[in-house]
Amino acid sequence: MKSKIMHAASSIDALKSSGYKSTYNAIAEIVDNSIDANAKNIFIIGEQTASITGDAKEKSIVSFAFLDDGEGMNYETLNSCLSIGVSNKKHKKGMGRFGVGLPQASTFVCNRVEVYSWQNGIDNCQMTYLDWDEIVNDDLNDVEYPQKKSIPEQYKVYLNWRTSDGKQYDFKQNGTLVVWTKCTRVDHRKWNTCVKYMSEDLGRKYRYYIDNDGVNIAMCELTSKDYVELLPNDPLYLISHSQDCLPNDLAVMKQDGYISLPYKKKKDYTENMFEEYLPTDDSPSVVNKKILYFDKGEKREGIVQIKYSVVKKKYYSRLTLNTDKKPGSLPYGSSQRIKNNVGISIVREGREIEFGSFGFYDQYNVPEYRWWGIEINFGSELDAAFGVSNNKQFVDLKPLSKQDMEEYTHDEVKPIWMQLAEEIKPTILAMTERNSKIRDEVPEKDANSDVSSTIGDIVNSAEKRSGEVLEIPEDNKDEEQKKMEVKEALENEGFKECSPDQIKEFQASNVRVITHSGNRNDNFITYSYAASVLIINLNKNHPFYELFVSQFYDKEEQKIAFQILLSALMKSIKELDLQYPDAMDLLTRKINNKIFDYVLDYKNKNN
């Protein structure tokens, strides 16, 4: 008896709007099936033709094909593979257990799909197909029985394929070929553009299968025979054979212009950019987080694995990079790929199914977020807990407000997002602070280092010339106490030991502007005194610094200009403070409040 298609003629519009995010997500469904069939080699073959528009030739993709060396399908499996809702999975393990992947993904992209499959030799190849034009025109509701048929002539060259570097592939014993024609939805018309996006998208989705399981996924163009193998695109930057590698020798890195390259693209480019983040020396590399959830009304328990990574110190510290430029402005830190990989990776059965912030951190552009990674990994037995969609495009991880979370305070089974947030949110803060400390490290300065302050010299000179030197009233501390204050202040600036001359120079500074790494919610600008010297402290983790000040503060002229403005402002406030008690504290607090309000308004308007 023929397998039913499920209201075929009237279902086409619904299937074509089936919620895939892109052509590449639909392609991933076919790759899933190949991997579930234990394929070790998968070719994605595009056909690009040139159509003449006026005097210009415009290339466009007209078909896709997917060839694998998996187990192949027998007659019964092939007969039902294009029926929606029929799954051959007898248990929950595996990627494609929902029974919608092949027909739904195919319909999303094209109007005709042909499936060829063979076991024990290519001569046993059988074929079945769906053609939506035929189904709609003839009001068909059945999938045709599989028939013995050879694969199309243009694909036979790949059955025994040899690459230019000598790799040999043989698809003749067992395998499957899926062909999409009459394509109606292709995100990018040109094959080269398609390869670029597939490299990043599929490279990230299947990074573990490529790296750990030795699955080879290659992209081929039918007419030119171009052949490109996928490398892992790891947003945690831990996989060695990756699209983003750096040289171990930082001298090579500087000589090459601080670029990242695919693994061994050049001899020295073999190093991971990140390392596993371990909060303490004895922390496990993977956190096993126990979760509680309901499945069909029953309370269940499961384990979610969470992995963290952070940038290696040598690739982030100003001490090792040997440049005043920030890592985020260097080529390896400003590449489009690293920007696209800012987020949290949700991995199911070793395959990424979604990537984003999921409300675990602020979504606005913060360059520091490029320098850590998080992965949430679970098995298909937890599909109900995560609300995995049948096309494996989405998980149900909706962020909760503080008020929403209060409703679940006394519940034993809390929303999954809330259970994960209690682990992930503090770790994001800890990783960000760890990176800030590394970036803020300054070379230790010894007793011979110059402690003179450029802004102090400018202020002193100007005030003396105008006869308006603002003398901060002396306190009752003795010389030894003042000396200790100066030593502590200089230690904050990176001076290891202080000589008497350095202490004198410091006390002659009048004013100093320094940066420090506070919390994001701390004030942007604070002040303190050391031996009557005004010290203006700028919080590098404040959103105002991150969004605006960081864009110019490593450039000497702009930095001095900003320090002049701050010094004039704070000195004027201090002068007022001498007349009106607490004016300094009151006005500084008001300035910080206004800066916070203005930045918040700016972000709201630009999101």
pLDDT score at 90: 45
- Looking at the structure, do residues 168 and 306 belong to the same domain, yes or no? no
Residue 182 belongs to domain spanning: 8-229
DSSP-derived secondary structure for 314-382: GGT-HHHH-SSS-GGGSHHHH-HHHHHT-SEEEEETTEEEEEE-TTSS--S--GGGGGEEEEEEE-GGG
Q: What letter would DSSP give residue 124?
A: G
In a domain, 514, yes or no: yes
Same domain, 296 and 180: no
- List, in sequence order, every beta strand (DSSP E) within 26-71: 41-53, 56-68
Residues 180 and 75 in one domain: yes
pLDDT at 389 over 70: yes
The mean per-residue pLDDT over the stretch 142-157 comes to 92
Residues 119 and 157 in one domain: yes
Least confident of 116-120, 209-213, 473-477: 473-477
Whether residues 353 and 405 share a domain: the answer is yes
Residue 446 lies in a domain: no
Task: Please determine, for residue 579, whether its predicted confidence score (pLDDT) is greater than 90.
Answer: no
Q: Are residues 125 and 173 in the same domain?
A: yes
Taking only the tens place, the pLDDT of each residue in 274-306 is: 999 988 778 888 999 999 999 988 999 999 999
Q: What domain count does the chain have?
A: 3
Answer yes or no: do 368 and 311 share one domain.
Answer: yes
Q: Which of 229, 257, 287 is the last residue of a domain?
A: 229
Domain endpoint, select from 229, 263, 294: 229
pLDDT for the residue 83: 82
In a domain, 427, yes or no: yes
What digits encode the pLDDT tens for the residues 262-272? 999 999 999 99
Q: Which residue, 440, 471, 504, sits at the end of a domain?
A: 440
Dist CA 251 CA 18 (whole Å): 51
Looking at the structure, do residues 79 and 165 belong to the same domain, yes or no?
A: yes
Residue 134 lies in a domain: yes
Q: What is the pLDDT of residues 113-137, one digit of tens each?
A: 999 999 999 999 999 999 988 888 8
Question: Locate tokens 């979760």: which residue?
Answer: 291
Q: The domain spanning residue 54 has which CATH number? A: 3.30.565.10
d(CA 284, CA 271) in angstroms, rounded, equals 22
Q: For residue 98, what is the DSSP state?
A: S
How far is CA 592 from its chain centroid? Answer: 32
pLDDT at 198: 94
Residue 16 has pLDDT above 70, yes or no: no
Greatest extent of the chain over all pairs of C-alpha atoms, in Å: 103
| Residue 398 within a domain | yes
Same domain, 322 and 430: yes
Residue 285 sits in the same domain as residue 314: yes
Q: What is the rounded average pLDDT of the residues 36-40? A: 95
Same domain? For 157 and 300 the reply is: no
